Amino acid sequence: MTRTALLGTVGALALAALTAAPALAAKPATTGANPFASPSTLPFEAPRFDVIKDADYLPAFRQGMKIQLAEIKKIADNPAAPTFDNTLVAMEKSGRMLDRVSLAFFGVVQANTNDALDKVQTEVSPLLSQHQDAIYLNAKLFQRVKALYDKRDSLKLAPEQAQLLKVYHEQFIRAGAQLNDADKAKLRDLNTQLSSLETAFQQKLVAAAKAGGLVVDDKAKLAGLGDGAIAAAAEAAKERKLDGKYLVPLQNTTQQPALSSLDDRATRQALFERGWTRAEMGDANDTRATISDLASLRAQKAKLLGFPNYAAYVLADQMAVTPEAAQGFMQRMVPALAAEQKREAAEIQAQIKKDGQDFALQPWDWAKYAEEVRKAKYDLDDGALKPYFEVRTVLEEGVFYAANQLYGLTFKRRTDIPVYQPDVLVYEVIDKDGSALGLMYFDYFKRDNKSGGAWMSNFVQQSTLLGTKPVVYNVCNFTKPAPGQPALISFSDVTTMFHEFGHALHGLFAKQTYETLSGTNVARDFVEFPSQFNEHWALDPKVLAHYAKNHQTGETMPADLVEKIKKAATFNQGYSLGEVVAAAMLDLEWHALPADAPKQDVDAFEKAALAKTGLDVDDVPPRYRSSYFLHIWGNGYAAGYYAYLWTEMLDDDSYAWFKAHGGLTRENGDRFREMILSKGHTEEYGPMFRAFYGKDPDIGPMLENRGLAPEGK
């Protein structure tokens, strides 16, 4: 997941306004000593987390918005005829203070929030929505942009300039610039309500996840977890002043990591149900009323803007273009996927019987017995893998090593850069020619005050116009080890590290003039392409041998264990792919609601929507239930969760190209960097991909990589 999604409370259309450049001449006297009033003096303009206080954010937001609105007024009121420089470049240079505080605040509030920051988010979210509307619904400003767009063919613009004009014009149209005054007023009200509800959802979910963790009194009930995991559970309980107890915290997904190891079925069921109902307890953290309101208001917004539903509105500027195309793409997977789910469920039920148990398979049993099947079929024990995956080693000898082999990058640890939380690591990224490329933060361990999931974002975005280089961060939610214990992770976690670093590369390799087009500021169904592509290098023989080393002995993972990982790579795909497809289809169903639809009963709607998928959603529930689907209700992926699957098609096609041309080589890496990773949104996605791949994307390599039969076979 990327920053564009992360700033859901601001809105994707606000990016051009909120990620812009140094303020124009006027500087109000009231800025005082606020740390966001001027650019940071740290390398790469990294945020001054050593001096930033919680109390600094709200004044900086207010002042930043005030400054930018004055700048925008000056642009709109300019008596000179509109030109590219006095309109678009001026807009790119507006809002610099707001950019600084927005990027820092939303990074911290997602990863390390507290009551004070939550209050700031609650107050500032509707203000940012209103600020966005003040820019994109400014009739005089739009007329300047439109005047340029209408004569674009005669302006003799460079390709990136022409693209910037096209993108700005689209953003104004999609933001409602062509509405009449009455409808603009309605839209402003809808946007304000939506931003407040999205913030409320995020905050309720963080609290619900914290409250939903499973507290266990008896250590015996945690049998199967292993000493390290049990020690971590004891430490987690201690941090909440539950001495003598054990706490298994919730991940944001439906399935919880501990379910694959816990021997006690009652404990498994209790943990699953704590996660399944975390935000449906009828308390202050219940998200269902918020969801129902969000779905209704989004449908109303879409109708106001001339679309039949919110999904149609969202996808109009995506690579897929229409909800029908996205649904059709996923439906092509369903026959093979449903058959695989049925086969896997029967296999797991047989394993339950083989173990001498007499109960029907339930979702809280799947991971446990699937792991037993995997051990039996591939002689592969996940517990035997973890000693080879220590977080820092994976990062420095795996993730960084692959980036060096493909792109020539090197990394230098920086302990002089202040961080917002002590666990955060910072590295300077050095390019193949020895020049400084940017700065990179890594925040890997779960905290009660951190949103669930994993993501990448920027503290500073790249722009040659502004003279800024990228300052990027990756955030994950790995279990933090007890003091003195190594930070051992699963291979799934390893893959997540490579994934999020793929996003980081997309941001680090940006070389755009204009920040609006820079790095990861691309469509939802394109932005996950570089990240998912980077996952492939986790299993590359050369890379794996470099980082998969026993944390005690330093010995490289044995060849037979490596081979078992590879053979098991397509295991359980009915589940792992099915839960994502079900979630993506659920997302599109929510956002296919018309404006005149009544408020929905969330549980009833979800049940009906999942029944339409054609998948085994009883045994394989969606990866995210509606009530904790953070991507679509709080993080900007509304009607866009299918993008993970769409971009998997793109990444598997690209990896197939790599394999056909020699695999892990600098020549291939440099080509991918030049044709994909460094392009930002300077080109349209279809032509960009075809130029690299040589043809339109096809689903064959994706299904083959998942171990499912290609279409027609």
Half-sphere CA count of 611, side-chain side, radius 13 A: 6
CB burial string 452-468: b at 16+ within 10 A, e below: bbbbbbbbbbbbebbeb
Domain count, the chain: 4
Q: 80 pLDDT exceeds 90?
A: yes
Instruction: Give the Cα separation of 575 and 554 in Å (integer).
Output: 34
> How high is the pLDDT of residue 146?
98
CATH of the domain at 129: 1.20.1050.40
Domain residues for 243? 213-277
> How high is the pLDDT of residue 33?
84
Q: 459 pLDDT exceeds 90?
A: yes
Long-range contacts of 663-670 (CB under 8 A, 24+ apart): 663/540, 664/402, 664/405, 664/406, 664/537, 664/540, 664/542, 664/543, 665/406, 666/405, 666/406, 666/407, 666/408, 668/406, 669/405, 669/406, 669/407, 669/408, 670/407
Q: 96 pLDDT exceeds 50?
A: yes
Each residue's pLDDT tens digit, 520-575: 999 999 999 999 999 999 999 999 999 999 999 999 999 999 998 988 888 999 99
Q: 203 lies in a domain?
A: no
> How high is the pLDDT of residue 24?
28
- Indicate left, alpha or beta for 279 from its phi (over 0: left) and psi (-120 to 50: alpha): alpha
Q: 188 lies in a domain?
A: no
Each residue's pLDDT tens digit, 663-680: 999 999 999 999 999 999
Each residue's pLDDT tens digit, 382-423: 788 999 999 999 999 999 999 999 999 999 999 999 999 999
Q: 185 lies in a domain?
A: no
Do both 465 and 378 map to the same domain? no
Mean pLDDT along residues 27-52: 84
Mean pLDDT along residues 49-67: 97
User: 468 with 461: CB under 8 angstroms?
Assistant: yes
Each residue's pLDDT tens digit, 142-171: 999 999 999 999 999 999 999 999 999 999
503 CB neighbour count, 10 Å cutoff = 26
Do both 424 and 541 map to the same domain? yes
Do both 318 and 289 map to the same domain? yes
Residue the block writes with tokens 């207010």: 62
Phi, psi (deg, nearest 5) at residue 158: -65, 160
Mean pLDDT along residues 265-276: 97
> How high is the pLDDT of residue 21?
28
Q: 3 pLDDT exceeds 90?
A: no
Q: 4 pLDDT exceeds 70?
A: no
Active-site residue, selected from the candidate residues 92, 198, 390, 500: 500
Q: 654 pLDDT exceeds 80?
A: yes
Instruction: Give the Cα separation of 678 and 353 in Å (integer).
Output: 53
> How high is the pLDDT of residue 29?
35
Each residue's pLDDT tens digit, 564-578: 898 888 899 999 999
Q: 8 lies in a domain?
A: no
Q: What is the H or E stretch that residue 603 is in?
A: helix 602-611
Q: 4 lies in a domain?
A: no
The residue ranges of DSSP E strands in 556-667, in sequence order, are none
Last residue of a domain, one of 177, 201, 230: 177
Q: Between 709 and 101, where is the model more confident?
A: 101
CB burial string 659-698: b at 16+ within 10 A, e below: eeeeebeeebbeebbebbbbbbbbbebeebbeebbeeebe
Cα–Cα separations (whole angstroms), residue 197 to 175, 298, 380, 401: 19, 11, 45, 42
Q: 25 pLDDT exceeds 90?
A: no
Q: 28 pLDDT exceeds 50?
A: no
- Looking at residue 402, its amino acid is A
- Residue whose C-alpha is closest to residue 250's, from 213, 290, 205: 213
Do both 568 and 632 map to the same domain? yes
User: 164 with 464: CB under 8 angstroms?
Assistant: no
Last residue of a domain, one of 639, 663, 686: 639
Do both 522 and 396 map to the same domain? yes
Instruction: Give the Cα separation of 278 and 252 in Å (integer).
Output: 10
- Residue whose C-alpha is closest to residue 246's, from 265, 278, 270: 270
CA 492 remoteness from chain centre: 16
> How high is the pLDDT of residue 305?
97
- Residue whose C-alpha is closest to residue 679's, from 510, 465, 450: 510
Do both 479 and 592 map to the same domain? no
Do both 572 and 486 map to the same domain? no
Structure token pair of residue 471: 């300052």
Mean pLDDT along residues 1-24: 34
> How high is the pLDDT of residue 709?
62
Given CA atoms 465, 466, 471, 475 in this order, what sign does their dihedral have? negative
Q: 543 lies in a domain?
A: yes
Q: 38 lies in a domain?
A: no
Mean pLDDT along residues 332-353: 95
CATH of the domain at 682: 1.10.1370.40
Q: 35 lies in a domain?
A: no
Do both 379 and 486 map to the same domain? no
Do both 630 and 647 map to the same domain? no
Does the pTM surpass 0.95? The reply is no
| Lowest model confidence (mean pLDDT) among 16-25, 326-335, 461-470, 691-700 | 16-25
User: 51 with 35: CB under 8 angstroms?
Assistant: yes
Mean pLDDT of all residues in the chain? Answer: 93
Do both 659 and 535 map to the same domain? yes
Q: Judging by DSSP bridges, how do beta strands 455-460 and 471-478 pair with one another? A: antiparallel
- Residue whose C-alpha is closest to residue 506's, from 379, 650, 602, 701: 650
> How high is the pLDDT of residue 32?
56
Q: 220 pLDDT exceeds 70?
A: yes
Do both 430 and 531 map to the same domain? yes
Last residue of a domain, one of 158, 177, 196: 177
Mean pLDDT along residues 585-590: 98
| Lowest model confidence (mean pLDDT) among 383-392, 563-572, 579-588, 638-647 | 563-572
Do both 120 and 250 map to the same domain? no
Q: How confident is the model at residue 381 (pLDDT cuts 50, 70, 90)?
A: confident
Report the SS3 class of residue 190: helix
500 among known catalytic residues: yes
Instruction: Give the Cα separation of 65 and 94 in Å (integer).
Output: 10
